[in-house]
Amino acid sequence: MRTHTRGAPTVFFISLLWPLLAPVPAAEVDPTGGIPFMGGNYDGHPMLYFGRGDVEELQYAAAGTHREMARRIREAGETMLEHPEEYLPPWSPAEFSARWNEVYGNNLGVLSIFCLLYPHRAGALDLAKTYMERMAAQPSWLVKDAPWDEVPLAHSLVGFATAYDFLYEYLNKGQQERFLQVIGNASRLMYEKSYVRGWGFQYLHNHQPTNCVALLTGSLVYMTQGYLQEAYLWTKQVLSIMEKSMVLLQDVTDGSLYEGVAYGTYTTRSLFQYMFLVQRHFAIGHFSHPWLLKHFAFLYRTILPGFQRTVAIADSNYNWFYGPESQLVFLDRYVLRNGSGNWLAELIHQNRITEGPGQAGKGQRWCTLHTEFIWYDPGLNPKPPADFGTSQLLYFEDWGVVTYGSALPSGTNSSFLSFKSGKLGGRAIFDIVHNNKYKEWIKGWRNFNAGHEHPDQNSFTFAPNGVPFITEALYGPKYTLLNNVVLFGSSLSGSCFKPWAGQVTEACDSKWLKYKVGLAGDAQGRVEAAIKREGMVFIRGEGHSAYNPELKIRTFQRNLLLLHPQLLLMVDHIHLDPESPTRAMSAFFHNTELPFQSTKVDGVHGAFVTHGKENYKMFWMDDTNSSNKGMVGYWSYPRGYPYNGSNYVNVTMPLRYPHTRVAYIFFGPDLNVQSFSLRGDDQRVDIYLSTTDHTYTIYLLTGEVTSKPLFAMVLLDHKKIVFERAAAVVDSSPVEVEEYVNVMEDNLQHVKPVFQQMERHILGRVLNTASFRRTAERLLQFSDKKKTEEVIKKMFAMSKKQNKGKGGKRVNLGEKLSESLPDIFAQIEVNEKNERQRTSKRMYEDSPEEGDADSRAFMDYPDGNRNRKGGLVKGRRFKEVHMVATARSEGVSGSPSYIRLFLLMNTTTFFLLLAVLLTRFQRGRSLHTQRCFYTIVLIDCFILLYLYSSCSHTQC
């Protein structure tokens, strides 16, 4: 027996010890992004994105690894120095508020980091101070004609507060105090408005992160200056809004944003700042968020060949409103870690349009340069994705968009195709509204804003050779005819252009899409297939649910077949119910830059655009082989839109019961279509095409029930390509996030410990100084006035006793002083909650719907210590928030330090016991004695494992 078991204890304990010695496998994505948690330990300003000790390192980086980005920052700064009056805000309040003024806040960020990186540049700091003085002189940062919109105020606040943080050491005492007051006033207004404006409760809309990050930035600066109570309320309000958005965003499974690429970059400009700031300051990690893991594809798979334009779905410019270089380096550093983000950012910058359509707006071009510089990781060598250089097909299942041929070098046969047919607001939002998901927070469409979308179900774009041939009509009125879709002849009421009826979401008298009520709220399209086979692409969408049911359209099926990079076939199949009143269809096709010209070949009507010396052509025909002449023209937009209008070709064809098919071909200059015809029956339509080099026979099965399990089959000369129904898109919807309310509340628990740590630091810094009483009064600013005086006297007496003790215990006394204070955060929360309840009640009595929507969802201030025992909130355990000091923290004694100490002691004890066991107790000891010793070592091993786990969780 002894012979067989002599080595067993050694093997047993080595097996127990191995988990401690073996390297811990890293998670795919670190939820913290590798951003160190400050834990409330600041050494003054700057502190938002980096500390005072990091400034010199950033200056070195500007001359080395970051020199290309620093060059762009310097160019922006030098441009402002050369033409100060062109960029400085006006002194006059009337002039400042006369127009949309986000440019002032947007430019202040880059100017302040320019001063920080090049502090010896003559005139730079003076310009920045003058800039801030002029902004501080304004009674309001709102726009006179839009006092209900806080977005301009948010741009000014985030820029001003960032500049205050970056340049604090260069401001004189008067400027520091005056500018802080300005930040406080603006933040206070934003906080009040967050309860009554749409951005406080309309989730995943671009205004929400824009305004919330402005308020968060102001509150962090205010917190650092010791105004803890107000800053605490502001911070909790921001997090209560944004953490709901982060939960809801988990339902968006494809990484997209329903407002499109341009407004998507507006959203992520602030959303990524939010993610960074809450991790750095509150240890709330979102870097393993499933949406974030997919977001790179939203930027990569929507770029047209040549890297200058994007698919312009919804309200859009030609590419991006903000960035996207900043967002891409952010994704690379904190999520991807593979160089693809840096590569794409570099390529986009190299191909930037500097003059003409597509150039960055003057008010936005410099706005993200400072965050791009801060987030860039030079250690990630730029590297394209593995499939770069080949045309790829991608279906964004939430957005309802298909793209093919994105992010290619420009050139012959580098072609781009997109198709849109999805649910209003995207699948996630639509299903949340219609399936009553997240009902604790969501009360229907009032909690979302689809105003920037277009009536564009079953729309498409095509860019053969990368040349925009059929394009979106950009930021314009929300008319169906301004999208590449179909209107139906009808005398229905409510149509914008009788006798034609567009999609039910079109708005006749508003700049914003109709979505809240009636038929509009149920509008949707559907992508039924997106298949690539042997270099050909087949896409099918169904859009009848986007039109008025009174039209009695059973099917509006749009089929796209990319037969060759320069040859696209599109077939519209319209199936009418017997009682349908419509007998005509009118299709529109747009090009925002190039005018269409009419043409006709062998009785088949068409149109073309000329790009350089090359023509891009289209022709059309229905299933009776008839072709009506199209109308070409230019649609001018009303005043108030950023674009003048769009060129179009309008094709009107008759409809027959029960079904009609209309085919369109689009081709580039390197192809010559010689013949084009079609015929069909109840089940299918056959199209015959011949070019100089090939003949195509296409069998398109359009019936609801078909004899063969196919969508389509193509005979290319003698080669057969099949698009089978087995590859159809399967519609699904993600389940509601489990215990979503508690998920949000858990993250809110991270706020209070940070503010309590700040409270201790502030008291510790002012002990035995003339400013002690003033500081205490500031901390107790919103507390009970009668108790305040008593508490201050008690604290003052304790601080005098400090003189008799040793200086080394000053931090401990600061903690005692903090403990002697009432819970200033719980008290102000209760007061604020009661006030908001009264306000909400008054609002509800005046306007039940608005009161319910605007305020009720935002009154909850879960507290980490109230209504819980042992870490319980509403019956559920949450992770305790541990305060961890960073490398620069000053004298903070926290639980991680004790855990680290016990871990080291216990590790030493464990190895000592193990050595004794293996050397002295293997021979001549009774079995009972050995078992007792094994038990002691085993218990110590479990203690060691527990301490190791605790230390890992607290990052000690």
Q: Which residues are catalytic?
A: 207, 263, 475
User: In whole angstroms, what is the distance from residue 706 CA to residue 500 CA?
Assistant: 32
- Separation CA 604–CA 620 (nearest Å): 7
HEC readout, 159-176 = HHHHHHHHHHHHCCHHHH
Between CA 687 and CA 955 the distance in angstroms is 66
Q: Provide the CA 612 distance to its chain's centre, in angstroms.
A: 38
What gap in Å lies between CA 342 and CA 346, rounded to an integer? 6
Integer Cα distance of 242 and 332 in angstroms: 23
509: nearest Cα among 643, 638, 642, 644? 638
Please tell me the distance from the alpha carbon of residue 659 to that of residue 155, in angstroms, as a whole number: 53
Query: Using CA atoms, how far apart are residues 370 and 114, in angstroms rounded to an integer?
Result: 9
CA distances in angstroms from 944 to 25, 139, 228, 451, 940, listed in the order given = 19, 61, 39, 57, 6
C-alpha distance from residue 431 to each of 395, 398, 422, 444, 445 (Å): 18, 10, 12, 10, 11
* Pairing verdict, β 604-611 and 597-601: antiparallel
Q: Is 451 helix (H, G, I), strand (E, B) or coil?
A: coil
**Contacting residues for 774 by C-beta, under 8 A, at least 6 apart:** none
Coil, strand, or helix at residue 558?
Answer: strand
User: At 55, is the secondary structure helix, strand, or coil?
Assistant: helix
Q: Tokens at residue 641, please?
A: 């839109």
Total Cβ atoms within 10 A of residue 186: 26
Sign of CA dihedral 146, 148, 150, 156: positive
The token pair that represents 899 in the structure block: 């855990």
CA–CA distance, 215 with 143 (Å, rounded to integer):
18
Q: What share of the chain is helix, strand, coil (3-state, %, to 5)?
A: 45, 15, 40
| Backbone torsions φ then ψ of 463, nearest 5 degrees | -130, 80
Q: What are phi and psi of 428, to 5 degrees?
A: -60, -55
Q: Please write down the HEC assignment for all residues of 370-407.
A: HHHHHHCCCCCCCCCCCCCCCCCEEEECCCCEEEECCC
Strands (E), 655-762: 659-667, 673-680, 684-691, 695-701, 710-716, 719-724
Q: Which two tokens stand for residue 674?
A: 């010689």
User: Which residue's structure tokens are 């015809």?
Assistant: 677
Residue 502 CB contacts under 8 Å (≥ 6 apart), including other chains? 455, 479, 480, 481, 485, 487, 495, 496, 547
Whether the ω angle into residue 23 lies within 30 degrees of 0, i.e. cis, is no
Residue among 639, 635, 627, 72 at smallest CA distance from 368: 72
Produce one character per residue of 371-407: b if its CB has 16 or more CB atoms within 10 Å, e if not.
Answer: bbbbbbbeebeeeebeebeebbbbbbbbbbbbbbbbb
Residue of 314, 339, 319 lying closest to 329 (CA atoms): 339
DSSP 171-234: S-HHHHHHHHHHHHHHHHHHHHHTTTSGGGT-TT-THHHHHHHHHHHHHHHHHHTT-HHHHHHH
